Amino acid sequence: MKRISSRRPGWFATLLVLTQLFALDSVHAEKIKVLTFNTWGVPLEVWDTWRYSAAMRAIEKLNPDFVVLDEVFSLKGKKDYQSYLYPYMANGPRMFPKLSSSGTRILSKYPFDSVASLVYQHCASSDCLSRKGAAIVTVTLPSGKSFNLAGTHLDSGGTDDLRSDQLRQLKIFTDYYADPKAPLLIAGDFNCGPASTTYQYALGQMQLKDTWTDTHPATDLGLTYDSYQNHYAHDYEIKTHDKMIVDRIDFMFHSGAITPISSQVIFNTEDSLYSDHYGILAEFEL
């Protein structure tokens, strides 16, 4: 009878197996870029509506995989904020019975596995004219991995308690519609800063992580709204007699098996100013 050797594999065989496993993991690792931007697409067609098409061309040059837009209210904005680069589009709640839709729009290079929308139950002041809420999509990426992306726009009027309640509704919504095995990214205009209780609700009750703080030191504020430096914001506050704001009120929050690699504030220079808000562009690895 031939004796079968019981010797363990040599170091070369072990190294070969580890190399193959590492290569397999590298093949499955995937990077995506996501952009979020409040377009300031006011329904009355004022304040330089050429901004819409110019901003969309700028977005195309940046070439993110996904785009989350807010305040796509006007007919011109709805027409201009689409592109052949993004054949797949999901919108937030429609306007009826309000005067305007939610204005939230998600653009994607990849087809959606599922789409759902949410209408927030409560609102305050002029925000009650639109159907504020959220949209969520689930996408299967080229690697075969799934990814959940939600876009939202919280009320600018009212209190932090109101916005926290909207996040409570958003959590119930995403818990139900998101693929539980896939990472989740929530992006948009939250109309609150890092010092707010709404922000703390996102980190605490929703167990989300802030992409900006994960990729920047605490000294980098990442301002997305500046009533003094942004002439659109300054003009709006003067005409509406509203308070001046300097803060980071647009966010990307993430949870699950997704790692932020980088993030940057965009559209924040005089020659790239398309809104009263600045945008955020971030890269992630899944």
For residue 163, the domain's CATH number is: 3.60.10.10
The pTM of the full predicted model, rounded to 2 decimals, is 0.89
15: pLDDT confidence band, cut at 50, 70 and 90?
A: low
Tens of pLDDT along 179-231?
999 999 999 999 999 999 999 999 999 999 999 999 999 999 999 999 999 99
Tens of pLDDT along 227-245?
999 999 998 888 888 889 9
List residues bridging with 68 in a β-sheet.
36, 106
236 domain-assigned: yes
- What letters, b where the CB count within 10 A reaches 16 and e where it falls short, cover 124-135? eeebeebbbbbb
Amino acid identity for residue 204 in this structure: G
The pLDDT score that the predictor gives to residue 20 is 57
In three-state secondary structure terms, 248 is coil
Mean pLDDT along residues 269-286: 97
Rounded CA-CA distance 37/70 in Å is 6
The pLDDT score that the predictor gives to residue 129 is 79
79 domain-assigned: yes
More confident residue, 82 or 12: 82
**How many domains does the chain divide into?**
1
18 domain-assigned: no
Q: Which residue has the tokens 């993004």?
A: 86
Distances (CA, A) of 274 to 55, 157, 259: 6, 23, 29
H-run or E-run covering 117: strand 112-119
H-run or E-run covering 261: strand 259-266
H-run or E-run covering 114: strand 112-119
Mean pLDDT along residues 104-129: 93
110 domain-assigned: yes
The backbone torsions φ and ψ at residue 146, rounded to the nearest 5 degrees and listed phi first, read -100, 155
The pLDDT score that the predictor gives to residue 4 is 40
What residues make up the domain containing 133?
29-285
41 domain-assigned: yes
The pLDDT score that the predictor gives to residue 127 is 82
H-run or E-run covering 184: strand 184-189
H-run or E-run covering 253: strand 250-255
- What letters, b where the CB count within 10 A reaches 16 and e where it falls short, cover 180-215? eebbbbbbbbbbbbbebebbebbeeebebbbbbbeb
Mean pLDDT along residues 48-74: 95
